[in-house]
Amino acid sequence: MKKYFLLLITLACLNQIQAQKVYAWMDVGLKGGFGLTGMLNKNLFDDRDYEHHLTAGNTFGGKLGLFFGLFNGITLDAMYSSSNQKFDYLKLNKTYDHNINWKTIDLALLYRMQKDGVYVELGPQYSLIQKVTNSDPNDPNTTTTDFYEKNYLSGVFGVGGYLFNVETFTTMLGIRLGYGFGDMINAKGKAAHYPTPNIATYVDKPTNAAWVQLVLEANFALGYYGRTSCSKRATLFRF
């Protein structure tokens, strides 16, 4: 009889999630994004012969989250992204299209606070440039990776919220903004006047990546480290 009584007490403790003290918890997720991408360069904004077009890109990958307490934590994103920038420019009284695509592996380490169905995230992102292609009828170079840096650093800010959840599965939708602090063009590219070698007047100005994208997450909670109201010791629990 005593054994059954102790078992009932233990089960009651485990079921009272509100009475538990959660020290840390983890989740993993898949995510994808789509939205506006582009390059910012003062030479292009100052040149009246160049006109920017709104262009889109996409990203997909995974996330690992480690939270301390219920609401605050850090996330590590590993994403593969394809970004674009389109221009048209006037040369000898004729208009030409110029399209640039760059593919990157993006590693973001972000602080995240999520509470009451809403999350906010902020932190750095390190981008490794994999390939850059160039489509310009006045430039014979179609693969221009050699004119770009191998990596650059960006700042990321995002907000979003929950869509729905089923037990340990949760979906979230948010908007993420990013700006590259590092110049994308290397010394060889600057000597060739990239990213736009056909610009009429060239001054050495940095070229920075920028993007605004909708991001969809599908997250799976792994477990948490905490203590029930019936126990004095913290234990690793699975959801």
- In Å, what is the CA distance from 149 to each residue of 139, 179, 198? 20, 16, 20
Phi–psi pair at 19, nearest 5 degrees: -90, 0
Nearest to 79, CA basis, from 104, 109, 100, 112: 104
Q: Give pLDDT tens digits for 80-137.
A: 999 999 988 888 889 999 999 999 999 999 999 988 889 999 999 999 999 999 999 9
Q: Give pLDDT tens digits for 6-27.
A: 333 333 444 444 446 666 788 8
Give the domains, in start order, of the chain with CATH numbers. 21-238 (2.40.160)
Helix (H, G, I), strand (E, B) or coil at 237: strand
The mean pLDDT value of the chain amounts to: 84
pTM of the model: 0.83
